[in-house]
Structure 1
Amino acid sequence: MSATINPHPAPVQTPSPVVTPAPPKRSKWLFFVIFALVAGGCWTGYKYFLQPKADPASSASAVGGPVQVRSAKVGSGPIDRTLRLSGVTAAKDFAAMLAPMMRGPDAGRALVLIDLAKSGTLVKKGQLAAEIDAQSIQDHLDDVKAQVIQADADIRKRKAEQATATEDMRQNIRNAKADWDKAKLDAGASEIRTPVDAEILKLASEEFEAAYNQLASDMKNREIADRAEIRILEITKERQVRHQGRHDADVVKFTMRAPIDGLVVMESIFRGGEMAQIQLGDQVAPGQPFMKIVNPARMQMEATTNQVDSEEMRIGQAVNLQFDAFPGLSLPGKVQSLGALGVGGWRQNYYIRSVAVRVAILGSDPRLIPDLSTSGDIVLEHKDNAVLLPLASVFSKDGKEQVFVKRGEKWEPREVKLGLRNGTHGAVLSGVDAGDEVALENPTPKPAVVASN
């Protein structure tokens, strides 16, 4: 079988080339929009931030319109020059209630308040103000009383024992005296005795005499020793009696009554990481103040001032007092005392000296209690029927003071002289009269501001 070969093979189809589309061209109008936005932002920034603003008064003057100026009327009345003080209220008459200082030798016991008058209440003299738990002291006092009784019994017992021993010794002395007397009688018959017997009787008499003398001497020493022993027991009893007396005094002090009529004000202590008022169940230390009973009818303000201001202050100057807690409350007062020396502060304020000032509050009010933040204006100078000019209307020119007085539609500059001043007004010596209208701002047109490139 023969194979036939095709001399012309079938053509192979080749893939056609992929044509990539050309990127679209950006529109020209988008460029113009961006340019317009940038130009508008630059113009707005220049208009509102960089371009100087013309004064409204100058603009009004430039167009011939009226100038709007704030103004006020010159008044009349009294004027005071005052000095401001800041401080707190305090009672002039008060009684401090302190935890008792115990006299007992074991004075380290806890003092716990079990009864306490409420803060802000009025109490009468002799009324119960506070009471401290005395149960532990009372228990200890019962033990001390028992020790006193035991010490007294020990003395009586020892005296009885000494009396018995003394009587026994006296009986021995009497026996020794009888033996000595018998020996002397026996020795008196030595003439009828042999020399040996006479010598024996003599020696026996001397022996009984020595025994008697020894017992008599021991009796004296025994009496001295007995008295010393009884004195030791008596001292022990006295010590216990004094111990009992001290605790009796302590127990009495645990019940505290008001020494004067007044208002109860509690002190503050550090409790639970913050300051808080004393309350029932708190533990106080001996000698710690925990309450004040104040007379609200006699109050004062305690404040400090710097050394410069203190030079103008005098005792007896009038003071007008205001209270931060009660904005509508105002009471009169007067300077009662001034510190003789300046007192330094702490740390960085050590070199700043302050002078203590006390101001007596002449009036009274039921709301007035201690520790209220208070301000007071001390009247340094006073003048009645003065022409009062607002200091806001006074302008300085060439070292002189002037005001602008309204005359028709114009403002007329006028030189003035002022005397007494306070923080807002000044007493006019010359220049304006009561009733004149003065400008509170300079009405003179300012030169127009030219914007620079």
Structure 2
Amino acid sequence: WLDVGRGAARTLAATPARRLAVVGALLVLGWGAAARGRGNGAAPTETAGTATTERRTFTRSLRLHGIVEAIRSYTVAAPRLAGPGLNSLVITKLVPSGSQVKKGDLLVEFDRQAQIKTSLDRQAEYRDLLEQIRKKEAEQGAARARDETELQQAENDMEAARLEMRKNEVLSRIDAEKNAQALEEAEARLAQLRETFALKRRAAEAEVRILQIQRDRASGAMRHADENAGKMSIRSPIDGLVVLNTIWKGGQMGEVNEGDEVRAGVPFLQVVNPEAMQVRARVNQADVPHLVQGQKVTVRLDAYPQAVFAGRLKQVAAIGVTSGLSQKVRTFAATFSIEGGDAKLMPDLSAAVDVELLRLPDALVIPRDALMFEAGQAYVQVRSGGGFSKRPVKAGPMSDHEVVVESGLAAGNVVLRRARAGGAGA
């Protein structure tokens, strides 16, 4: 080829007819070389790559996305306090998020000054009411003694009037009428005193009862204030990791800090056991048949891409829920246990779960983009000499990126990969 080229160059200075003949010969030789190249197989282009077949373990997996949650945890909420007007509490001490705590360690402390003041106020009120009741009972005792003396005197007057009535037979008519009138007046006075004293006793009992009710209320308020003061400190019932929840505060979502107000009953903190965590994910109904309890999975945290954890499928919900986009598509909740523990495992982190659906050891594997089809027959382009030749193969299980070749290739063969749009193949 080089000699022909040099000869052609020397003849370029010849006549125009000879020059045209030489150019034609060069074109024929170039076409023949290209034809020989096509006959041996297409050579890889700049936008195509190659891959070497190898035997190794082939796996096919299903990727799911879910949220990390604790299996064993303790939720801390702002305590609900007894008594009116106690809707929010101010945090004075708070364990930072991510802290390791032991059972009995202080987690959070709220301002207890209001509870202490309420307890002291109710205690003073309670003692004052006790004194009022004692004084009222003493006054009523003295009044009762006076009333009983007056009542006894009225009874004596009535008995004396009756004795005088016995003398009426020997007295004049006028004196007899006077005695009868005196007896009538004595009986009327006695009846009036008895009725008046009964009303006075009921009124006195009502006054004391009112004070007793006020005393009991003050006692209850004092007891509630003491109990509320005891709720101002919350300690951890378990060993674990502190995780602060995101709550609505100050017009936006955020974690609580010391000095913040928290409404009663709002959960704002968790103590989780990082040694027992799981991932809860949703599975499309089409993928549910591929899941079996106990399947091995690999868990990766979106926040920590380098962190990889082994796990297993715990369970799949028996009832699915419809999607908001289509009533025909259902998803099922699935939980995956995470083996081992790590400080990075915290609730509410997003995670990817790869469920191993198939494992084939010692399989001959090629990239999926190296497999091509023609008239229903799978084939690959195998390096042969200076080019590539088409070779039929039998394809086995596939994943998103790889395919198992059951026959037609051997380990070490170099196969051509389809060109990727916009660049060279890997």
TM-score by length of 2: 0.81
1:249 and 2:222 aligned: no
Structure-1 separation of matches of 2:230 and 2:55: 67
Structure 1 outlier segments of 4+, above 6 Å: 348-352
1:207 and 2:185 aligned: yes
Structure 1 residue corresponding to 2:394, chosen from 406, 417, 429: 417
Shift, 1:147, TM fit: 1.7
Query: Any idea what the Cα deviations from partners look like across 1:401-431, whole Å, max 9, x if unmatched?
Result: 1122334445342322223221222222333
Moved more, 183-192 or 112-121: 183-192
Amino acid of the residue matched to residue 372 of structure 1? L
Aligned to 2:34: 61
Between Structure 1 and Structure 2, whose CA radius of gyration is higher?
Answer: 1
Structure-1 separation of matches of 2:189 and 2:375: 129
Shift, 1:123, TM fit: 1.0
Aligned to 2:207: 229
- Would the aligned equivalents of 2:303 and 2:349 in 1 still touch at CA under 8 Å? yes
- Would the aligned equivalents of 2:95 and 2:242 in 1 still touch at CA under 8 Å? yes
Q: How does 1:40-439 map to 2 (within 5 A)?
A: 61-62=34-35, 64=37, 68-69=43-44, 70-108=49-87, 110-270=88-248, 275-343=253-321, 353-409=330-386, 411-439=388-416
Query: Any idea what the Cα deviations from partners look like across 1:313-355, whole Å, max 9, x if unmatched?
Result: 2332211112233333211011223234444566x68987543
Structure-2 separation of matches of 1:234 and 1:272: 44
Amino acid of the residue matched to residue 301 of structure 2? F
Amino acid of the residue matched to residue 255 of structure 2? Q
When the two structures are aligned, how many residues end up with a matched partner?
383
SS in structure 2 at match of 1:385: strand
- Would the aligned equivalents of 2:43 and 2:387 in 1 still touch at CA under 8 Å? no
- Would the aligned equivalents of 1:105 and 1:243 in 2 still touch at CA under 8 Å? no
> Which consecutive residues of structure 1, in runs of 5 or more, have no partner in the other structure?
1-57, 443-453
Query: Any idea what the Cα deviations from partners look like across 1:127-177, whole Å, max 9, x if unmatched?
Result: 111011121232233222222222222211221121122111111111001
SS in structure 2 at match of 1:335: strand
Structure-2 separation of matches of 1:176 and 1:275: 81
Moved more, 371-380 or 113-122: 371-380
- Would the aligned equivalents of 2:58 and 2:404 in 1 still touch at CA under 8 Å? yes
- Superposed CA RMSD: 2.7
- Would the aligned equivalents of 2:243 and 2:269 in 1 still touch at CA under 8 Å? yes
Structure-2 separation of matches of 1:160 and 1:373: 73
Could you tell me the percent identity over the aligned residues? Answer: 33
Aligned to 2:10: none
Amino acid of the residue matched to residue 435 of structure 1? G
- Would the aligned equivalents of 1:99 and 1:288 in 2 still touch at CA under 8 Å? yes
Amino acid of the residue matched to residue 392 of structure 2? E
Moved more, 153-162 or 204-213: 204-213
Structure-1 separation of matches of 2:360 and 2:98: 42
- Would the aligned equivalents of 2:119 and 2:223 in 1 still touch at CA under 8 Å? no
Shift, 1:388, TM fit: 1.7
Structure-2 separation of matches of 1:148 and 1:128: 33
Structure-2 separation of matches of 1:72 and 1:79: 16
Shift, 1:288, TM fit: 1.4
Structure-2 separation of matches of 1:343 and 1:250: 43
> Which consecutive residues of structure 2, in runs of 5 or more, have no partner in the other structure?
1-30, 420-426
- Would the aligned equivalents of 1:315 and 1:337 in 2 still touch at CA under 8 Å? yes
